[in-house]
Amino acid sequence: MLEQQNVNRRQLLVYGAAVGAALPMVLSTSAPAFAAQDGSETSVITVGQGVEPETLDIQQTDVGSTRNVAGLILQPLVSWNYNTGELEGVLAERWSSVDDLTWEVNLRPGVQYTNGEPLNAEGVKFAIERFLTATHPFASRLAKLELTVTPVDETTVQLTTNAPYPFVMLDATRIPIVPPGYLGEVGDSEFALNPVGTGPYTLREWIAGDRVVLEKSESYWGEGYAFDEVVYRVVPEAASRTAALQTGEVDAISSVSLLDFETIDGDPNLDAIAVVSNRSMFIRFDCEDPRLSDVRVRQAFNHAVDKDLLVSALLLGNGEVLDGQPIGRQIVGHNDELEAYPYDPDLARQLLEEAGFDFDEPLTMFGTVGRYTADQDITQAVAGMLGEVGVQIEVQPLEWGVWLTRYRDGTLTPLTFVGIHTSVPDAFTLLDTHSSASIGGKFKNPDFDAIMNEAASTIEPDARIELYNQASQLLRDEAGLLFLYQQYDIYAANHEVEGIDFRPDDAIDLVQAAPAS
Amino acid sequence: MARQLVASPVMLCSVAFLLIVVAFAIAPGFFAPHDPEAQSLTRRLLPPLANVGDTTYWLGTDSLGRDMLSRVIFGARISVIVALAGVVLSGAVGVVIGVVSGYYGGLIDDFFGWLVNVQLSFPFLLLAVAVAAVLGPGLRNIIIVLAVTTWVSYSRVMRGQVLTIRDSEYVQAARVIGASDRRLLAKHVLPNTYIPLIVIVTFEVARLIIAEASLSFLGLGTAGLASWGTLMADGRAHLATSWWIATMPGIAIMITVLAINLIGDWLRDVLDPRFQRR
Amino acid sequence: MQAFIIRRLIQAVFVLLGASIVSFALLHLAGNPVDLILPMDATAEERDAMMHQLGYDRPLIQQYADYMRGLVRGDFGESVRSRQPAMQLVLERLPATLELAAVAMAISIVFAFPAGIAAAIWRGSIVDRGLMVLTLIGQSVPVFFLGLVFILVFGVRLRWFPVAGRGGLEHLILPALSLGMYSMARTARLVRSGMLEVLHSDYITTARAKGLSEQLVVVRHALKNALVPIITILGLDIATLLGGAIITETIFSWPGLGQLIIYSVSTRDFPIVQAAVFVIACTYIFVNFFVDILYAIVNPRVRLM
């Protein structure tokens, strides 16, 4: 039915400790050239994305495309460096754990917001407290932990939670520090349209539905960001994004369709860049469903699906098979000991027989439409592979909004195709999704729940990773999921620009970006 | 009429082509040289007429190495079902509403007039998403969405027709004699409306096939089953490099629509004495 | 005339009411915005809390009553996601869509009338056959395909026009052409068949018999009578153009209402969708009001009522 294919004509960015310390950076091999610094010419980079920002107040949203735009204006205390696998300071210079409940953060001195307000401890307190009541997805859990900010002196704050919480600093990578004076002046609604921050760029204009134009701030405290202007344009249709890249209307694009790979490949002025994403794809079992409650049945399903073939044939090589855990290799907490269930349809049939599986009753498998790369093809193919070992699957694809409502209602049973993404590079979310307390958790394993419960409050990283390893081992042994793959996000850029860093968390980092020399 | 048909070679070709399409729709497996879903990654993106080994791919292959000719033949089934069911459903609803509101007038007419306006003032996409959400995606629901959005054309035209005929002398005369409403409609009003109806049907068949393609483009199309429209929507990303993937089903749509239009024009000319070419 | 306007106003209110009820019902059947805002790992508590905060846990009737109360005051509420007034977001986008639809319609009329008339007069000639082919393409090629072909040929290959966004005239040509193509094809065909019908009718024969020049017959008599059904169709086409603009806007990255609707529907941003439905319904009603007046001018037998 399907045949294997080797994928070679592709540049691939791989991140993470598992791959090694020296990481290839396709677009930033040469030092950035600051070509247009003499003032004679304005250097502009134009980036095409599929979705327009709904707001530039990124305390209210965690949508990747929005963060890319507003992240050039508003900055967090710290950010995660996927190349080194470590946190690095942005507005914070140093941070240290005081005790299980408290972090002390020293702010970078002398930083000003672009409106001239100074960055200080009181401002950070204001910003984080505002975040706790915002609509950002992280807000409610931090609010529940009663995260409090205590200014110690002008440039030092203490962050305290009411219970041990290991992810204070990781979550802080998503908390933009907003200026209290300006916000008090203009209010939330105006701030969403015209934010002011400490970042390298300021907003020049935002034409609804069309573009956001940012210009370099004269007073930026940091280095990098060679372009005088950054323009983010909205180009919803993937084929049109590729066309706009070809005509030079934009210099870089995100969410390149798999099928456009060849077009871009065939153009000597363009590069396609595949980035391992923080999203893991799998089929979720409802382990309490009587037909799936036997571990042998779930193992059989895992053996019946040829993951390598899915990736090579349907993703055209743009993915990596999960090694028996829903955790990508670039994520802290990846379990190096585990291996994928090998493709073995005979063993699958045998296991199903042993478990007394009822081959006559079809199982429903829910899927998404256009939400994930090649999602409809993948669900069809998985159903076909299960069909080969005698399991009848009825595929039911759902529109994304409907799928989500039913996911939360718990009615996507017994099987659903799903991708779980973590915004911070830690395995916790990827595993905890499957604990019984979680809204999507259908693994229903008390041991697993207990381990994750403990991990949730274990501050010491090595101890926590050990717990993650136990949990992922259990999840694999019990075949709590039908493990599939990690997909690659595909970006493309022309040769006018260099040094753009496309990250696994949907972010486009322009710190090293510069006009091509 | 049969004599006139034979006398026109263009008509013969059109009818023959439509019959072929219908045959494809009824027994695609009989005509298709390959399994439309069989992938072969060593035979990806072959142009039309490519020869590999002992196989000729007449319409080329797609990005997964599937034979486009077989996919177009199987696609005929879904497109024909969508077009036929859509026309029958929307036609039936539209004609009944149009005739009733034209014939009875008054409050009934006002109500349906209001419904038409609400329908037309309303973005069709919203309806499509809502139906997909409430009923789930699938062929049946796509047909419902399309029917709900196209009945208006029938209803408007039928209403106009019925209005003119209702007040004509011979219908008035029949009424005086004491003919019942139903009899009047069936014997005198309806038979005089089929000419405009044929014209609309030829329009609407094309529109339904295209509208289904648009739904596929928006990600609300038929899942799993690839209609011509879905093939076009899926193949669009390849237009720049492998034009045939989206274009071949497009040509199938175009010839079908051409055939239907020619037949429609011809039927009208034959049926309407004023258009007799002499 | 006054009675006509009053009657129309009353009708308009009912149509708006109907559109608002239908859109409200459809949206609420299709889910809620909360599920699309919350992260995948949100707890049931968080979901309930946000449902409550945004008022989606109240009975539907009450939500509708609140919506209507706001509507009467001209307040459509705030976008769930961006927190900006919904109507303002919609009105920001309206000019781009109207510009596109108007130019598409203009192109379609400017081409369709001469072409349709010529095809009717020289029936069966090269002109007629050529028009048949053109209308066929307009009718049977989906707008997304046509748009992408335009982009690839005139944008990427020839570099004559930009492929994305709104700006000067050069940005407008490709999207307007692909949007107007269907309407152009349909109108040309209607003009042709309308003209044919009229040209064969008794009074034209009489006019010809009276020795009037062919030109005068066509322009003074035939065209005027053929116009009547065509104007109705053009009125309907406005709705099609506004709706069809959704796909054209997506393909050409045109910052109009269509794109806003498609995104707001997919994110279930109810206030924006409801405001957009209202605006589109108003536009439709407004345009059809003028179509009816035009109708009466062209055809004095029709009385405005």
Q: Is residue B4 part of a domain?
A: no
The pLDDT value recorded for residue B5 is 63
Q: How high is the mean pLDDT of chain B?
A: 81
Q: How many other CB atoms are there within 10 angstroms of residue C37's CB atom?
A: 24
Amino acid in the structure at residue B236: R
Helix pair B228-235, B244-271: axis angle to 10 deg: 140
pLDDT given at position B6: 65
Sign of the dihedral defined by the CA atoms of residues C236, C239, C240, C241, in that order: positive
Q: How distant is the Cα of C210 from the closest Cα of chain A, in angstroms?
A: 59
Nearest CA in chain C to A441: C41
Chains linked to C by 3 or more Cβ pairs within 8 Å: A, B
CA distance B134 to chain C (A): 6
What's the pLDDT score for residue B47? 87
Give which of A2, A256, A259, A411 to mutate to test B binding, by max B Cβ within 10 Å.
Answer: A259
Q: Is residue B21 part of a domain?
A: no
pLDDT of residue C227: 74
Name the minimum distance, in Å, from the CA of C258 to any CA of chain B. 9
Give the pLDDT band (50/70/90) at residue A183.
very high
pLDDT tens by residue, A407-434: 999 999 999 999 999 888 899 999 999 9
Model pLDDT, residue B3: 63
| Complex confidence, ipTM | 0.86
- Chain B residues near residue A396 by CB distance under 8 angstroms: 136
pLDDT classification of B32: cutoffs 50, 70, 90: confident
Choice between A57 and C289, residue whose per-residue pLDDT is larger: A57
- What angle do the packed helices A446-455 and A461-477 form, to 10 degrees? 160
Mean pLDDT score, B40-56: 81
Tokens of A479: 């075949």
In this prediction, residue C300 has a pLDDT band, given cuts at 50, 70 and 90, of low
What are the angstrom distances between the C-alpha of B15 and each of B255, B266, C141? 11, 11, 21
pLDDT of residue A5: 38
The arithmetic mean of pLDDT across residues C1-10, rounded, is: 82
The yes-or-no verdict on residue B261 having pLDDT over 70 is yes
HSE (side-chain half, CA atoms, 13 Å) at B161: 25
Span A349-389, pLDDT tens digits: 999 999 999 999 999 999 988 889 888 889 988 998 999 99
**Hey, what amino acid is at B172?**
Q
Q: What is the pLDDT of residues A40-62, one digit of tens each?
A: 579 999 999 999 998 999 999 88
Percent of chain A's residues with pLDDT above 70: 92
What 3-state class would DSSP assign to A464?
helix
- DSSP line for B111-167: HHHHHHHHHHTS-HHHHHHHHHHHH-SSHHHHHHHHHHHHHHHHHHHHHHHHHHHHT
CB atoms within 10 A of CB B78: 23
Question: Which amino acid would we find at residue A272?
Answer: A
- Cα three-residue angle A197-A199-A200, rounded to 5 degrees: 140
DSSP-derived letter for residue A342 is P
pLDDT attached to residue B2:
62
Determine the angle formed by the axes of helices B194-217 and B68-104, rounding to 10 degrees. Answer: 130
CB contact under 8 A, C266 and B129: yes
Q: Which of A10-24, A87-101, A429-443, B257-271 has the lowest mean pLDDT?
A: A10-24
What is the structure's pLDDT at A14? 45
Q: Given pLDDT bands bounded at 50, 70 and 90, which one contains residue C304?
A: low
pLDDT of residue C286: 85
Point out the least confidently predicted range of A270-279, A357-366, B246-255, C127-136: C127-136
B126 contacts C142? CB cut-off 8 A:
no
Report pLDDT for B163: 80
Structure confidence at residue A489 (pLDDT): 92
Q: What is the DSSP letter of A426?
A: B
CB contact under 8 A, A263 and B241: yes
Distance from CA of C199 to the nearest CA of B (A): 10
Q: Please give, rounded to a whole number of angstroms, the shortest distance from the CA of B135 to a CA of chain A.
A: 10
The structure tokens listed for A27 are 């677009």
Q: Which residue has the higher pLDDT, A43 or B196?
A: A43
Asked if C146 and C174 count as a contact pair (C-beta separation under 8 A), the reply is no
A19 residue type, one letter: V
Q: Tell me what pLDDT residue C229 has.
A: 66
Considering only CA atoms, which of A235, A110, A305 is closest in space to residue A492?
A235
Query: How many structural domains compose chain B?
Result: 1
Q: What is each CA distance from C45 to A144, B181, B252, in whole angstroms?
A: 11, 61, 53
C-chain residues within 8 Å CB-CB of B257?
A: 136, 139-140
Across A120-124, A397-401, C292-296, least confident range: C292-296
B274 to chain C: which residues are within 8 Å by CB?
197, 200-201
* Per-residue confidence (pLDDT) for residue A197, from 0 to 100: 96
- Flag the least confident range among A157-161, A250-254, B122-126, B260-264: B122-126
Q: What per-residue confidence (pLDDT) applies to A258?
A: 85
The whole domain housing B235 covers: 67-275
Lowest-confidence range among A12-26, C132-146, C276-290? A12-26
Residue predicted with more confidence, A501 or C140? A501
**CATH of the domain spanning C93-255:** 1.10.3720.10
> B31: closest CA among B67, B83, B3, B79?
B67
Residues of A in contact with C49 (CB under 8 A): 140
Answer yes or no: is pLDDT of A225 > 90: yes
DSSP per residue, C1-23: -HHHHHHHHHHHHHHHHHHHHHH
C277 touches chain B (CB under 8 A): yes
Chain B contact set for C132 (CB, 8 A): 261
- Which stretch, A316-325, A400-409, B245-254, C180-189, has highest mean pLDDT? A316-325
3-class SS string, A190-229: HHHHCCCCCCCEEEEEEECCCEEEEEECCCCCCCCCCCCE
| A156-160 vs A102-107, strand pairing mode | antiparallel
Q: Is residue B238 part of a domain?
A: yes
* Residue of chain B minimizing CA distance to A263: B241
Kindly state the average pLDDT of the residues A238-242.
92
- Residue C244: per-residue pLDDT: 61
Task: Name the residue among A233, A421, A439 with its Cβ closest to that of C164.
Answer: A233
Domain boundaries, chain C: 93-255
What is the per-residue pLDDT for A13?
Answer: 46
Q: Which of A67-76, A177-186, B106-115 has the lowest mean pLDDT?
A: B106-115
Q: Which residue of C has its CA nearest to B123?
A: C243
Which helix (H) or strand (E) is C81 found in, with range?
none
Mean pLDDT of the residues in chain C: 84
Minimal Cα distance from A48: which residue of C? C164
Q: What percentage of chain A has pLDDT greater than the value 90? A: 73
pLDDT band at A30; cut points 50, 70, 90: very low
Q: Which two tokens stand for residue A151?
A: 């200014």
pTM for the full predicted model: 0.87
| Structural domain contains residue B19 | no
Write the CA distances from A95 to A126, A462, A492, integer angstroms: 19, 19, 36
pLDDT value of position A7 = 36
Binned at pLDDT 50, 70 and 90, residue C303 comes out as low
Q: What is the mean pLDDT of residues A486-498?
A: 93
Chain C residue whose CA is closest to B196: C193
Q: The domain that contains B207 carries what CATH number? A: 1.10.3720.10
d(Cα A267, Cα A270) in Å, to the nearest integer? 6
Region B178-184: mean pLDDT is 75
Interface of A with C in 390-449 (CB under 8 A): 400-402, 404-405, 407-408, 420-421, 429, 432-433, 437-440
Task: From residue A332, give the alpha-carbon distance in Å to each of A169, A430, A455, A480, B232.
Answer: 14, 11, 13, 21, 43
Taking an 8 Å cut-off on Cβ atoms, the answer to whether A208 and C37 are in contact is: no
Backbone angles phi, psi at B218, to 5 degrees: -80, 0
Q: Is the CB of C81 less than 8 angstroms away from the CB of A54?
A: yes
Chain B residues with CB-CB distance to A under 8 A?
38-42, 45, 63-65, 129, 132-133, 136-137, 219-220, 223-224, 236-242
Spell out which chain B residues touch chain C, with contact meaning CB-CB distance below 8 angstroms. 114-115, 117-118, 120-127, 129-130, 133-134, 152-153, 156, 199, 203, 206-207, 209-210, 213-214, 217-218, 229, 232-233, 236, 239-240, 246, 250, 253-254, 256-258, 261, 274-275
Q: For B131-178, write each residue's pLDDT tens digit.
A: 776 776 678 888 888 888 888 888 888 888 888 777 777 777 877 777
Does A84 contact chain C (CB < 8 Å)? Answer: no
Report whether A272 contacts A242 (CB < 8 A).
no
Question: Cα C23 to the chain's mean position, in Å?
Answer: 17
Identify the pLDDT of residue A40: 57
Model pLDDT, residue B7: 65
Greater model confidence, C156 or B126? C156
Does residue C220 carry a pLDDT above 80? no
